[in-house]
């Protein structure tokens, strides 16, 4: 019984081995077929690539020849009349779009702040300038007049700046601003003070005739102003009794 069992088991093993060998042979055959197929495809691919390269090389000269402009010797040039050449007529209405250029003045007005904002800003700067003292006050008021030349207080600011310069020992700068106030704002309410300061400037320079002319103009054109009252007293002082010259104790200079 043992012998028969061993014999039967050996037969089963042999059958399995034979089956495996057959499977291996089949796989080898399949692998060989695939290798041959790959080689065949590679050969075909090389042949197609060679044919394509040859066709491209042959087509290049022909394309170049076709691209060149060839005029036959017997070609006749025919001129087309303008009426025949105008295939389409102009549209009945104008299709052009007109571009409107913006008004520079309007753009400038839109870019600037409103009048109310400018007025509030100017008033703030004027109050800040008048709170200062000495030459700082003079500089600030002069800058204000330069920034806001149309402000109602621009002429007053110039006269105040001139007075601050004079008080700070800058007589030339003060006289220059007083002259600017008189020239730039002849209808301003600070004109009388500007003329009074110019008379004082002429007095400091020893220009008696110029001082007298300024004082007389001040009295004649602005008779009811405090500056005109002071100018009248100054004229009396430099003229003397009944116009007989200056008083013995020396002239009283015009004061701004």
Between residues 135 and 6, the one the model is more confident about: 135
> CA 157: distance to chain centroid?
33
Residue 18 falls within a domain, yes or no? no
Residues 183 and 211 in one domain: no
pLDDT at site 2? 45
- CB under 8 Å to 120, separation ≥6 — which residues? none
The tens digit of pLDDT for each residue in 192-221 reads 999 999 999 999 999 999 999 999 999 999
Residue 126 falls within a domain, yes or no? yes
Q: Domain boundary residue among 138, 171, 189?
A: 189
Asked whether the beta carbons of 181 and 158 are under 8 A apart, the reply is: yes
Q: Which two tokens stand for residue 36?
A: 């041959």
pLDDT at site 12? 77
Residues 185 and 199 in one domain: no
Residue 93 falls within a domain, yes or no? no
Which range of residues forms the domain containing residue 200?
195-256
**Is the torsion defined by CA of 191, 211, 180, 171 positive or negative?**
negative
CA distances from 104 to 98, 107, 111, 150, 240 (A): 18, 5, 10, 22, 62
Residues 177 and 220 in one domain: no
Residue 57 falls within a domain, yes or no? no
> CA 243: distance to chain centroid?
66
* DSSP state letter for 7: H
Residues 224 and 251 in one domain: yes
Q: Is the pLDDT of residue 252 over 90?
A: no
pLDDT at site 65? 59
Q: Domain boundary residue among 158, 189, 220?
A: 189
Closest CA to 250 of 216, 197, 208, 217: 208
Residue 107 φ then ψ, to 5°: -60, -40
pLDDT at site 244? 47
- CB under 8 Å to 160, separation ≥6 — which residues? 130, 137, 141
The tens digit of pLDDT for each residue in 24-82 reads 888 888 888 888 888 878 778 887 888 888 888 877 666 565 555 555 556 555 555 55
Q: Looking at the 3D structure of the chain, how many domains does it have?
A: 2
Q: Is the pLDDT of residue 234 over 50?
A: yes
pLDDT at site 243? 45
Burial (CB count within 10 angstroms: exposed 0-12, middle 13-18, buried 19+), residue 214: buried
pTM of the model: 0.50
Q: Is the pLDDT of residue 256 over 80?
A: no
pLDDT at site 119? 84
Residues 225 and 250 in one domain: yes
Instruction: Measure the CA–CA gap between 112 and 197, rounded to whole angstroms.
Output: 36
pLDDT at site 7? 55
Residue 205 falls within a domain, yes or no? yes
160 pLDDT band (50/70/90 cuts)?
A: very high
Residues 152 and 218 in one domain: no
Residue 212 falls within a domain, yes or no? yes
Q: Helices 134-147 and 115-130, interaxial angle, to 10°?
A: 160
Residue bearing tokens 């089949």: 26
Residues 168 and 212 in one domain: no
Q: Domain boundary residue among 189, 205, 234?
A: 189
Residues 172 and 208 in one domain: no
Residues 125 and 154 in one domain: yes
Three-state SS at 122:
helix
Residue 17 falls within a domain, yes or no? no
Residue 103 falls within a domain, yes or no? no
Residues 152 and 120 in one domain: yes
pLDDT at site 155? 94
The tens digit of pLDDT for each residue in 82-135 reads 554 545 565 555 555 455 566 666 556 555 655 677 788 989 999 999 999 999
Residues 126 and 166 in one domain: yes
Residues 166 and 226 in one domain: no
């Amino acid at each position: 019984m043992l012998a028969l069992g061993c014999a039967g088991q050996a037969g089963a093993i042999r059958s399995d081995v034979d089956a495996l060998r057959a499977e291996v042979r089949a796989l080898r055959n399949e692998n060989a077929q695939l290798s041959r197929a790959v080689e065949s495809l590679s050969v075909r691919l090389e042949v197609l690539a060679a044919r394509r390269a040859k066709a491209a090389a042959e087509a290049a000269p022909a394309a170049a020849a076709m691209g060149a402009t060839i005029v036959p010797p017997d070609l006749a040039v025919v001129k087309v009349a303008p009426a025949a050449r105008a295939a389409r007529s102009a549209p009945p209405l104008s299709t052009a779009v007109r571009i409107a250029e913006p008004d520079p003045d309007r753009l400038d007005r839109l870019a600037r702040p409103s009048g109310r904002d400018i007025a509030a800003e100017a008033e703030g700067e004027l109050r800040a300038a008048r709170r200062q003292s000495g030459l700082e006050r003079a500089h600030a008021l002069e800058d204000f007049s330069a920034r806001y030349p149309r402000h109602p207080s621009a002429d007053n600011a110039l006269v105040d700046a001139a007075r601050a310069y004079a008080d700070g020992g800058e007589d030339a700068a003060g006289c220059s601003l007083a002259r600017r106030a008189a020239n730039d704002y002849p209808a301003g309410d600070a004109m009388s003070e500007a003329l009074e300061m110019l008379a004082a400037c002429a007095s400091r320079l020893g220009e008696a005739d110029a001082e007298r002319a300024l004082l007389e103009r001040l009295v004649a054109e602005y008779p009811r102003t405090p500056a005109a009252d002071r100018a009248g007293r100054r004229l009396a002082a430099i003229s003397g009794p009944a116009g007989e010259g200056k008083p013995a104790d020396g002239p009283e200079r015009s004061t701004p």
